[in-house]
Amino acid sequence: MIRKNILLVAVFFVFVFESHGQKTIPTLFVPTIEKQVKSELLQGLEKRFLATCDQIAELPPPPRQQVGRRLLEVSRTYLKRITYLAYAYQLTGDEKYLQASEKYLLAAAEFSDWNPSHFLDVAEMTMAMGLGYDWTKDDLSPESALKIREAIVEKGLKPSIDEKINWWINTTNNWNQVCHASMAVGAWAVERENPEFSKMIIDRAKEKIRIPEGQYDPDGVYPEGTSYWEYGTSFNVLFVDAYQKKYPDSILETSNGLMKTGEYFLHAHGPAGSFNYSDSRQNEVISAAMFWFASKSKDLSLIYNQVPLVQKIVTGEDSLDAETSEGRFYAFLLIWLSELKNVSAVAPEVTSWVGGGENPVSFLRSGWKRDDIYLGNKAGSPSISHGHMDIGSFVMDAAGVRWAIDLGMNNYNDLETSGVDIWDKSPNGDRWKVFRYNNFSHNTLVVDSSFQDVDSDAKILKVIDRKKLKSSKMDISSAYKTSLTSALRTTEIKKNKEVEIRDEIQNNGQRSSVRWGMMTYDDIVLVDNSTAIISHDEKRLVIKIVSPKNSKLKIYPATPMMPGEEANEGFAMIGFETGLQPNESAKLEVTMNVIQIDLKYIH
């Protein structure tokens, strides 16, 4: 039985005694550290967490309702509600959380299936069921326990060995991480009754999850971007943490890049949110995994951006919404937060970071304060999983505002149900007809009104980090190989107050037209041919063409062309065009500065 005087569950596995008196078998939870002193932050978060659990306990379990081809939101809602309730039971021993957990576990067990045609749906539901069952199983009725166990095996684990739908087993992206981690947790939950089958699933996960772990090498960059980092990495960390705590005397190999990737996620966020390249959203999220990385590395600077976000929940400025799936990893946030002996927001010492691999990026900043300048730079290839034609693109924050904007992902279901095949990444595929996915919407070059080369492979050549100069230089030539002989882009923060974007391009043997563009807010005043002022939140940014001298700034609409696209209201592209003669070289230079000015004086 789970004792009612449990104060804190500090790690990921508990030891459960078999009723027939055999030796203790480790399953999916841990003995508690009862006398550990909780930080003020942890105490406050637990209070908010339990209040949310009280609300969840009163909600009815969602029905099996697909949206398009996905049941994913339902699975995610169950993952959140079941883990919240079952963990609340571990913390408090209150029977109401046990009863509510059982209600949700049985409801999911009654589903006809967990939508194996889109296996992420199965994976997240199996994670929910595996954890919820294991954290409550000794207090469930035999009938409920059997029904839940059978559902995990029949609707979760067995579909994962069906070769018609388990294509994800050897893939390099987030599907591998989510599916293998979830199947392993489901297998651990039922291993006492299904030892051989469970061992096969767990051994498979241990071997195959190494494939996407290799994608983080050498520096920790996640090729699919920040939103999918939070998704794939969270599940990967769940597996690693679970395995290491279940088998403390066993060695689990992980890639060097995986263990460095907390640095990537930290630096990929500017004052105004994430650098949301690829299929990502510009936002700030609490990542439970970042507390795990901070604990493992003993580097509190990794949670510099995270601690203030958690404090907002503690103070009530932000809430834990009981009804949505948002924050579904927060039970683990409590676990990994409890493993940190000290919790504070320590500012990082470095102001630039660069990472290689399949999708290289660099991040520059003048400092770590809200009003400091931030530049995120993107190389790589559109062919990467969830990739966009964003080679050479950048985002820029200053005075707390994101001025150079990446519109990010478009709702998948809206496009799919409109008949757009967004997964067709061939050169003429539907994906590139979506405005947000092609280079016409990104802060990069458009040459001869053409798309970037799908198979391009751009590199970051050099990063400079000096007191008065932060600089990143990229070779983006491969994205324009049908028109340009070479294209080098350099982004700079000068004297911690001015941003310069400089392109050095060499034309091939034919005439070419090059458009320089930056997505921003549509509140723009064209001062003269080479100067414009952009306004947002009563702040101003002046953007100026330095070279070529005869260029003229224009405003291009951010109008989508395909059915199912998001409207892009409030945004516009500012830029200019220049013509190149055969074999001509050119330099395109643009500067940006935040200014204090009243627009009524601009004529």
Architecture category of domain 352-601 in CATH? Distorted Sandwich (2.70)
Q: Looking at per-residue confidence, does 22 or 477 come out higher?
A: 477
Q: Is the dihedral of CA 347, 348, 351, 357 positive or negative?
A: negative
Token pair for residue 48? 């908010």
How would you classify residue 502: left for phi > 0, otherwise alpha for psi between -120 and 50, otherwise beta?
A: beta
Average pLDDT estimate for 341-359 = 93
Residue 5 pLDDT exceeds 50: no
Contacts of 545 (CB under 8 A, 6+ apart): 529, 530, 531, 551, 553, 576, 589, 590
- Where residue 25 falls among pLDDT bands split at 50, 70, 90? very low
Tell me the C-alpha distance between 308 and 329, whole Å: 18
Token pair for residue 336? 């990994």
Average pLDDT estimate for 345-350 = 92
Burial category of 427 from C-beta neighbours within 10 Å (exposed 0-12, middle 13-18, buried 19 and up): exposed
Is the separation of the CB atoms in 157 and 183 below 8 Å?
Answer: yes
| Per-residue pLDDT, 28 | 56
- What residues are paired with 533 via a beta bridge? 525, 542
| Per-residue pLDDT, 602 | 54
Share of the chain above pLDDT 70, in %: 93
Q: Which amino acid belongs to residue 57? A: A
Residue 3 pLDDT exceeds 90: no
| Per-residue pLDDT, 27 | 55
29 in helix, strand or coil?
strand
Residue 375 pLDDT exceeds 50: yes
Q: Looking at per-residue confidence, does 274 or 18 come out higher?
A: 274
Average pLDDT estimate for 481-507 = 97
Average pLDDT, the chain: 93
Tell me which residue of 347, 234, 225, 354 sits closest to 282, measured CA to CA.
225
Q: For the segment 288-335, what is each residue's pLDDT rounded down to a tens digit? A: 999 999 999 999 999 999 999 999 999 999 999 999 999 999 999 999
| Per-residue pLDDT, 599 | 60
- Where residue 584 falls among pLDDT bands split at 50, 70, 90? very high
Q: For the segment 133-161, what is each residue's pLDDT rounded down to a tens digit? A: 999 999 999 999 999 999 999 999 999 99
Residue 193 pLDDT exceeds 90: yes
Number of helices (H), then strands (E), in the chain: 15, 21
- Where residue 344 falls among pLDDT bands split at 50, 70, 90? confident
Q: For the segment 68-103, what is each residue's pLDDT rounded down to a tens digit? A: 999 999 999 999 999 999 999 999 999 999 999 999
Tell me the C-alpha distance between 213 and 224, whole Å: 13
Tell me the C-alpha distance between 384 and 297, whole Å: 29
Average pLDDT estimate for 470-487 = 98
In degrees and rounded to multiples of 5, residue 78 shows phi and psi of -65, -40
Is the separation of the CB atoms in 193 and 25 below 8 Å?
Answer: no
| Per-residue pLDDT, 341 | 82
Q: Is the dihedral of CA 454, 457, 462, 464 positive or negative?
A: positive
Tell me which residue of 80, 167, 162, 88 sits closest to 125, measured CA to CA.
80
Q: Looking at per-residue confidence, does 11 or 122 come out higher?
A: 122
Average pLDDT estimate for 170-189 = 98
Domain 49-284's class? mainly alpha
The residue length of the chain stands at 603
Contacts of 314 (CB under 8 A, 6+ apart): 41, 44, 45, 47, 48
Contacts of 272 (CB under 8 A, 6+ apart): 282, 374, 397, 400, 401, 402
Q: Where are the alpha helices (DSSP H) in 116-173?
A: 119-136, 142-151
- Where residue 38 falls among pLDDT bands split at 50, 70, 90? confident
Residue limits of CATH 2.70.98.70 in the chain:
352-601
What does the radius of gyration of the chain's CA atoms come to, in whole angstroms?
26
Is the separation of the CB atoms in 520 and 455 below 8 Å?
Answer: no
Token pair for residue 504? 């050095």
Q: Is the dihedral of CA 410, 411, 417, 422 positive or negative?
A: positive
Residue limits of CATH 1.50.10.100 in the chain:
49-284
529 in helix, strand or coil?
coil
Q: Looking at per-residue confidence, does 246 or 486 come out higher?
A: 486
| Per-residue pLDDT, 33 | 44
- Where residue 8 falls among pLDDT bands split at 50, 70, 90? very low
Average pLDDT estimate for 166-186 = 98
Q: For the segment 524-564, what is each residue's pLDDT rounded down to a tens digit? A: 999 999 999 999 999 999 999 999 999 999 999 999 989 99
Token pair for residue 458? 């751009």
| Per-residue pLDDT, 229 | 98
Entry pTM: 0.93
Is the separation of the CB atoms in 526 and 535 below 8 Å?
Answer: no
Q: For the segment 232-253, what is each residue's pLDDT rounded down to a tens digit? A: 999 999 999 999 989 989 999 9
- Where residue 1 falls among pLDDT bands split at 50, 70, 90? very low
